[in-house]
Amino acid sequence: MRLSRDFRGTLIVAFCGLAFTLVAPEVLEFFTIITLSQVIGLAILALSLALVWGFGGILCFGQTAFFGLGAYAYAVTATNIGGSTGAILMAILVAAAFAAILGYFIFYGRVSDVYLAIITLTVALILYSLTRRTSGPEYKIGNALLGGFNGTAAPPLNLPGDAGTVLFPEDTFYVAMIVLILAYVFCCWLVRTHFGRVCIAIRENETRAELLAYDIRLYKLGIFTIGAALAGLGGVFFCVGVSRVTPDVFSLSQAAVAIIWVIVGGRGTLIGPILATFALHYLTASLGSQALLNANLVLGIVLIVFVLLVPKGVVPSIIDLADIRRQRRVARSRERRLRLRRTRNGSESAGVAE
C-alpha cells in the first residue's frame, strides 16, 4: 500500500519535470535556457549527494570531487575523440572508479563519520590545488591542455554516432532535463530495491545490519560508487552548460553549496535537494556581483540558520507539518463520530462530564 503511494509521488514529480521541460523554452529567455543546462548539472550533483548522504548515511563533504572529475574526464575525452557519447561514458566511469578506490580505503578501514567527511573534502581540495597547477604546456592529455586555473574547453554535445551534428542549446537543455528526470526516477527506484533498503537500514543502525549478516562495507561502497557516477554525470552537463571546466568545480565553496542544497532541501528526500539547487542558484544569481551581500555571506547565513533552526530541511518539515495536520484531522473526525454516536445513544451526560 505504502509502496504504491510512494511510487505515485515519483511519477507525479517526473511528469511535472516533463511539463517544465516542454514549457520552459517557450516562456523563458534563450539566455536563461543556456544557464539552466548548467544548473541541471548541479541539480544532478545535489541528487547524488541526497542519495549518498540522505539514504546511505554517508557524510560525503567532497561529492564535488567526483563531479569535477566527471567534468574534466568529459572535456578531455571529448576533445580527444571528437564526440560526446563516449566522453559521457568516460566521465561516469572515471568518477565511479575513483570513488570505488577511495571508498575501498575509507569503508574497509572503517573510518568514522567525521573522518570520512573530512577526507572526502580534503580529496576535493587537493584536486583543486592540483588542477590549478596544471597551467604549463606540459600538462596535456592527448590533445587537451588542462590549462591551470583557466581550465579547459568542454566541447558541446552531439548526436550519438554523428560527431558533426552539434546540439543547439535548447536541445542540450532537453537532454539535460530528461537525464535529470531519469536520474531522479532511477534513485527513487534504487532506494526501494533490496539494495536500497539495506543501505537505509545501515544508515539507521550499522551494528544491527551487520548482525543480520549484511556486509555493510560492501553496501556503503556500492551506494558511494553509484552516487559518484551520478555526480560525474552531473559534471558533464555542468561543463557543457558553461562550455568550460575550471578548477573551481573542486573548490571549497562549490563543495559547500552542494552540502547546503541537501541541508536546505532536506536529508532523506530526493526531490528536496533538486528543488533547493534551483532555488538557491536563482537566489545567488540575483545577488550577482553585488559587493555588500555577497554570495558567500548569504550561503553561510543560510547554512547556519538551517542547522540551528530547520535541521531537517524544508521538504521533510513540510511533510511533517502535513502529517501533523492530517493526524489532527483524523482525530477530529473520530471525535465527531464518537460524539455523534453518544448523542444517538442519548448519553449526553458523558459528553458534559468531559
Residues that bind another protein (CB under 8 A): 2, 59, 61, 102, 105-106, 108-115, 117-119, 121-123, 125-126, 128-130, 133, 194, 197-198, 200-201, 204-205, 207-216, 251-253, 256, 259, 263, 291-304, 307-308, 311
CB of 338 to another protein, least distance (A): 20
Tell me the three state secondary structure of residue 140.
Answer: strand
Distance (Å, whole) CA 238 – CA 60: 20
Which residue, 12 or 130, is less far from another protein as judged by CB? 130
CB of 206 to another protein, least distance (A): 9
Chain centroid to CA 250: 16
Which residue, 83 or 147, is less far from another protein as judged by CB? 147
CB of 261 to another protein, least distance (A): 13
Which residue, 133 or 328, is less far from another protein as judged by CB? 133
Q: Grid coordinates 530495491 are at which residue?
A: 193
Tell me the three state secondary structure of residue 159.
Answer: strand
Which residue, 32 or 150, is less far from another protein as judged by CB? 150
CB of 12 to another protein, least distance (A): 22
**DSSP category for residue 84:** S
**DSSP category for residue 51:** I
Which residue, 17 or 313, is less far from another protein as judged by CB? 313
Q: Quick one: 298 exposed, middle or buried, by C-beta within 10 A (0-12, 13-18, 19+)?
A: middle
CB of 213 to another protein, least distance (A): 3
CB of 117 to another protein, least distance (A): 6
Which residue, 59 or 179, is less far from another protein as judged by CB? 59
Cβ pair 39, 240 in contact under 8 A? no
Q: At what angle do helices 30-49 and 2-27 cross, to 10 degrees?
A: 160
Instruction: Give the phi and the psi of residue 163 in degrees, each rounded to 5.
Output: -65, -20
